[in-house]
Amino acid sequence: MPVTRPYRRTCRQFVDGSYGRGDQPKYIRDARFAEAPEHYIRAFLLLQQDLQRLFEYIEPADRNLSTYSFRTHELLLRSCVEVEANCKAILLENGYGRGSDLTMVDYKKLDATHRLSSYEVIAPVWYGARGRRRPFENWRSGGSLPWYTAYNDTKHDRHSAFERATFEHVVDAMCGLVAVLAAQFYCHDFGPLTFLIVPKRRADGSEVAIGDYFRVVFPTDWPTELRYEFVWELLERESDPFQQLTF
């Protein structure tokens, strides 16, 4: 049986295969769905601006993936901090019982609830074959995330691990953040025009992500029993139309 009540901070495919057909995504804009979503999106938009500024000096291309500098180090740290902040918010707002001192062991639980390893993020301008990224793909096989490992290494020992703060890890971390935001808020930035235009899916299956720069391919492999199936116009009248995830 499909899920008949949406989970907090959780965007999922509906039984009909869509994510945003008609009035379905209105649940995301409800004030009870997430605490201060604008706070997390603003932080991402600032990071995206800084990444685009970095592209003025490092061309987004396969041959530049191993480049590293203090600028790439800075963006890697900031991007991963935002990934952590979003993952933590999802867990805590869904009643996760391990307190606030969380690690990647805890965040990895979100692959089951948000299907992060199935997200693909596309850089719109890229020279080479590496412009399509699956930042959480290693979670499928139980592995670690290279970009997050690099973040930890360079955070705790910058001198010895500085060369691990590569352009590739920065792009992967940013794509990871795009995926985590999409897994919560679909393509909505909570601006005044959010629901006037429903994003159109391109021929490659992608939709324009939050921030109008990256494109994201949403998971289509949700089992039917984990997909949403509800009429939001009926649920929204309730005092609390949302439920909490079980981890």
In this predicted model, what pLDDT tens digit does every residue of 59-117 receive, in sequence order? Answer: 999 999 999 999 999 999 999 999 999 999 999 999 998 877 899 999 999 999 999 99
In this structure, is residue 98 part of a structural domain?
Answer: yes
Average pLDDT rounded to a whole number, residues 163-175: 98
pLDDT in tens, 14-48: 999 998 776 678 999 999 999 999 999 999 999 99
Report percent pLDDT > 70 for the chain. Answer: 94
pLDDT (0 to 100) of residue 196: 45
In this structure, is residue 115 part of a structural domain?
Answer: yes
Q: Are 80 and 107 in contact (CB under 8 A)?
A: no
Sequence-distant (6+) residues with CB within 8 A of 45 are: 189, 211
| Count of structural domains, the chain | 1
In this structure, is residue 199 part of a structural domain?
Answer: no
Containing structural domain, residue 56? 35-186+204-221
H/E run at residue 183: helix 167-185
In this structure, is residue 167 part of a structural domain?
Answer: yes
CA end-to-end span of the chain: 19
Q: Taking 60 as the threshold, does the pLDDT of residue 139 lie above it?
A: yes
Interior angle at CA 63, CA 58 and CA 64, nearest 5:
30
| This prediction's pTM | 0.95
Q: Taking 60 as the threshold, does the pLDDT of residue 197 lie above it?
A: no
Tokens standing for 147?
């970009």
In this structure, is residue 29 part of a structural domain?
Answer: no
In this structure, is residue 104 part of a structural domain?
Answer: yes
In this structure, is residue 181 part of a structural domain?
Answer: yes
Single out the residue of 24, 14, 136 nearest to residue 83, CA to CA.
Answer: 136
In this structure, is residue 26 part of a structural domain?
Answer: no
Range list of H helices, 70-166: 70-93, 104-107, 110-114, 146-156, 158-161
Q: How far apart are CA 140 and CA 124, in angstroms?
A: 26
